[in-house]
A = this chain, B = another copy of it.
């Protein structure tokens, strides 16, 4: 791993390790793949949209019987069969076996301009791999689906941000899992109620990072630390995540929802800007926190014990600003519905100019990190920034979003949002595998579309989200009743009425139209849960008169 800034273990059995550096000045990534298997094994590493090995972009490495190394830039078709990619856009540095370790080193541009190659971006990247025994004469024609294969998610193009030095009086504490015996099931969300150090005066968290137990590196998938706001006491708990509705009311964990630290596989330390820190401690600050660790154990291994967690760096010297977390996007309400069997359904949540005008200081706020969040159907998520009808560079975007990989991501460019600017958070959701309507809501089978932005200076605006106005939704049902002859009953509730619609293509188009053009209801909410004074019901949504031009790929024709 020497010489490489980032790494991720792709496959523990074959010790297939993926290390990389990002060079923003010439827009390339340098990659080193190592594999500890004997030379009569061959493997491939590459990228695909969501981790599938079909329609994937691979580099394949193998030895032939006379021990010559072969390397092939290749791709799989929609059936998973390997083909040679004759446009060679990778620069090979090394492909050999040293001391029983197969080493592959190469550099590729973010954008090779080759349609066969994966276009790297700042969102989630799915690194796919396969490993197989044999010394084939050629890899062409092999079906990767028949071989041992898998994937890992990382943010490959990590930002090249300036890292401020740590203050001299910094000290650290760790919130870690209490020697959890990792269950032998594929997915476990472990919950552990614990406390922060007692701090009589307010401190600032200035940095945090994952502390992952070495031997569990491929199992610990993500970790979040939630602060239980305003709780004087929380019952101790250590065990699998309590399903919704099964939660002991006495140890109500719903208040444990303010994220103070989050790590996901491959994540780097989160280092706050010099001007800002995350406040903890002081009078009335609850010490209770909930640690959530997601173990992803596809080989159903047993016997692993884990004490992974998050290390916080705190300083008693307060920085200029408290940082805050604000929630943008769509309100959690069944007014939002995604019809079944949609490959991509667009949802848009607004933080309108009138709300930022009311809540932001004159110099605005500075967003330095963002955590995109949806439930199971989210496929792409982004937040647009609009000033006086003109679209400015996006705050954040993930074109290969996975709900199983919700990192807090430091932004390459801090976004300064002025009073009167608007933020539009949008999600593309896929419900191809669902036969019923998916509603907005809290449950994992319901859907969300939000962006938790990390910013400074902290303002009292905690939630800036929208939903279609009640009146516009009534119009939609009225139309479905009167023109489409669907027996809508206003008395029977929104879910009942959405559920009556047969979702023919025209019904989906009309719902899309209603969502994208109708007046909205704004949650422009203070931290006490109350709306700011203002008119927030039936207000127009934000229109973009001058959209951002698409980035020039500089590929020529």
6 residue pairs bridging A and B, Cβ less than 8 Å apart: A476-B517, A478-B517, A478-B543, A482-B547, A506-B509, A513-B513
With A346-B483, A483-B346 already in contact, the answer to whether A513 and B512 are too (CB < 8 A) is: no
Q: Does A544 contact B (CB under 8 A)?
A: yes
A479 CB contact (under 8 Å) in B478, B479, B516: B516
Contact B506 A483 (CB under 8 A): no
How near does chain B come to A237, taking the closest CB pair, in angstroms? 46
Contact A509 B510 (CB under 8 A): yes
Contact A482 B516 (CB under 8 A): yes
Chain A stretch 39-89: residues in CB contact (< 8 A) with chain B? none
Nearest residue (CB) in B for A490 is B545
Q: Does A505 contact B (CB under 8 A)?
A: yes
Distance, CA A547 to CA B488, complexed state (A): 13
Nearest residue (CB) in B for A483 is B516
By secondary structure, the A interface counts as helix
Chain B hits for A436, CB < 8 A: none
Chain A stretch 515-550: residues in CB contact (< 8 A) with chain B? 516-517, 543-544, 547
Distance, CA A513 to CA B509, complexed state (A): 10
Q: Does A475 contact B (CB under 8 A)?
A: yes
The interface size of chain A toward B, counting residues with CB under 8 Å, comes to: 20
A513 CB contact (under 8 Å) in B514, B543, B547: B514
A505 CB contact (under 8 Å) in B475, B506, B513: B506
Chain B hits for A478, CB < 8 A: 517, 543
Chain B hits for A510, CB < 8 A: 509-510, 513
How near does chain B come to A506, taking the closest CB pair, in angstroms? 4
Chain B hits for A543, CB < 8 A: 478
Contact B544 A479 (CB under 8 A): no
Chain A stretch 470-493: residues in CB contact (< 8 A) with chain B? 472, 475-476, 478-479, 482-483
Chain B hits for A512, CB < 8 A: 483
Chain B hits for A544, CB < 8 A: 482
Nearest residue (CB) in B for A472 is B517
Chain B hits for A479, CB < 8 A: 513, 516-517
How near does chain B come to A527, taking the closest CB pair, in angstroms? 33
Q: Mark A319-360, 1 if CB is under 8 A from B, else 0.
A: 000000000000000000000000000100000000000000
Chain B hits for A475, CB < 8 A: 517
Nearest residue (CB) in B for A540 is B471
Chain B hits for A513, CB < 8 A: 479, 510, 513-514
Nearest residue (CB) in B for A517 is B475
Distance, CA A510 to CA B483, complexed state (A): 12
Distance, CA A517 to CA B478, complexed state (A): 8
Nearest residue (CB) in B for A505 is B506
Distance, CA A516 to CA B478, complexed state (A): 9
Chain A stretch 491-508: residues in CB contact (< 8 A) with chain B? 505-506
Chain B hits for A509, CB < 8 A: 506, 509-510
Chain B hits for A506, CB < 8 A: 505-506, 509
Among A475, A512, A544, the one with the most B-chain Cβ atoms within 10 Å of its Cβ is A475
The 6 closest A-B pairs by CB, nearest first: A506-B509, A475-B517, A510-B513, A479-B517, A509-B509, A479-B516
Distance, CA A513 to CA B514, complexed state (A): 8
How near does chain B come to A283, taking the closest CB pair, in angstroms? 49
Chain B hits for A514, CB < 8 A: 513, 517
Among A509, A513, A547, the one with the most B-chain Cβ atoms within 10 Å of its Cβ is A513
Nearest residue (CB) in B for A511 is B513
Nearest residue (CB) in B for A507 is B509
Nearest residue (CB) in B for A506 is B509
How near does chain B come to A486, taking the closest CB pair, in angstroms? 13
How near does chain B come to A473, taking the closest CB pair, in angstroms? 11
Nearest residue (CB) in B for A541 is B475
Chain B hits for A517, CB < 8 A: 472, 475-476, 478-479, 514
Identify 16 new A-B residue pairs, CB closer than 8 A, beyond the known A478-B543, A479-B517, A482-B516: A346-B483, A472-B517, A475-B517, A476-B517, A478-B517, A479-B516, A482-B544, A483-B512, A483-B516, A505-B505, A505-B506, A506-B506, A509-B509, A509-B510, A510-B510, A513-B513
Distance, CA A295 to CA B384, complexed state (A): 63
Distance, CA A482 to CA B543, complexed state (A): 10
Q: Mark A103-142, 1 if CB is under 8 A from B, else 0.
A: 0000000000000000000000000000000000000000
Distance, CA A506 to CA B472, complexed state (A): 20
Chain B hits for A516, CB < 8 A: 479, 482-483
Chain B hits for A547, CB < 8 A: 482
Chain A stretch 175-222: residues in CB contact (< 8 A) with chain B? none
How near does chain B come to A251, taking the closest CB pair, in angstroms? 46
